[in-house]
C-alpha cells in the first residue's frame, strides 16, 4: 500500500497527523471555512451537481476535466454552513486534489480519510461520508473518460 500520494494531499495529511485530536478538529473546521463558494455558472445550475447521499448532511459535488494528455481536474463542492464536518471533508479534498491530473486522483488510495487521525473523534458513519465523496469523484472522472 505504498501508492505515492499527491504532494498537496500528503502535506494535508501530515498537518493533521502532527496535531493533537482537538487541534485536528480545529483544522477540519478551518478547512470547512475555507471551502470556496460555487462559481456562478454552477450556482445557477444545481442540477449539474451530484448529491453524495452517503453523507449525513446535504453535500453536492461536480468536476470538470481539462484537455488531454494531462486532463487536470477541477472540483466543485456545495455544502451548507450548518454542516461544518461535511464541509471540512469537502475542503480537505478540494485542497488535496483540485487541479491534479485525472490519473493522479484515480491513484489516490481509498483509505485516505482514515489517515487524517479523526476516526476516534468522528463517528464511522461520517468518515464513510468522506470516503463516499472520494469514490464519487473517481467515478465521475472515469465517466468522463468513457
User: What grid cell was written down for 14?
Assistant: 501530515
Q: Which is nearer to other proteins, 65 or 133 (CB)?
A: 133
- Piece of the chain touching other proteins by CB under 8 A; list 42-50, 66-74, 94-102, 126-134: 126-134
128 touching other proteins, by CB under 8 A: yes
Q: Binding string to other proteins for residues 46 to 75, with x set by CB under 8 A, is what?
A: -------xxxxxx-----------------
CB nearer other proteins, residue 41 or residue 120: 120
| Residues contacting other proteins: total by CB under 8 A | 27
Burial degree of 40 (CB within 10 A; 0-12, 13-18, 19+):
exposed
46: nearest Cα among 59, 56, 33: 59
Longest alpha-carbon distance in the chain: 43
Sign, Cα dihedral of 74, 79, 84, 89: negative
Site string for other proteins, 6-45 (x = CB under 8 A): -------------------xx-xx--x-------------
Among 24, 93, 129, 137, binds other proteins (CB under 8 A): 129
CA–CA separation, 146 and 144 (whole Å): 5
Which secondary-structure segment (H or E) carries 88?
helix 84-97
Binding site for other proteins (CB under 8 A): 25-26, 28-29, 32, 53-58, 81-86, 88, 120-123, 125-126, 128-129, 132
Amino acid at each position: 500500500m505504498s501508492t505515492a500520494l499527491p504532494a498537496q494531499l500528503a502535506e494535508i495529511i501530515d498537518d493533521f497527523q502532527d496535531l493533537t485530536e482537538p487541534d485536528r478538529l480545529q483544522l477540519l473546521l478551518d478547512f470547512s471555512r475555507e471551502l470556496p463558494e460555487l462559481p456562478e455558472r454552477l450556482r445557477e445550475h444545481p442540477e449539474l451537481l451530484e448529491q453524495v447521499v452517503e453523507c449525513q448532511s446535504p453535500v453536492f459535488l461536480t468536476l470538470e476535466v481539462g484537455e488531454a494528455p494531462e486532463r487536470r481536474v477541477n472540483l466543485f463542492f456545495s455544502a451548507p454552513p450548518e454542516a461544518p464536518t461535511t464541509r471540512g471533508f469537502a475542503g480537505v479534498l478540494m485542497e488535496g486534489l483540485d487541479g491534479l491530473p485525472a490519473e493522479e486522483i484515480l491513484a489516490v488510495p481509498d483509505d485516505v480519510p482514515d489517515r487524517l487521525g479523526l476516526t476516534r473523534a468522528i463517528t464511522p458513519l461520517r468518515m464513510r461520508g468522506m470516503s463516499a465523496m472520494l469514490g464519487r469523484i473517481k467515478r465521475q472522472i472515469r465517466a468522463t473518460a468513457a
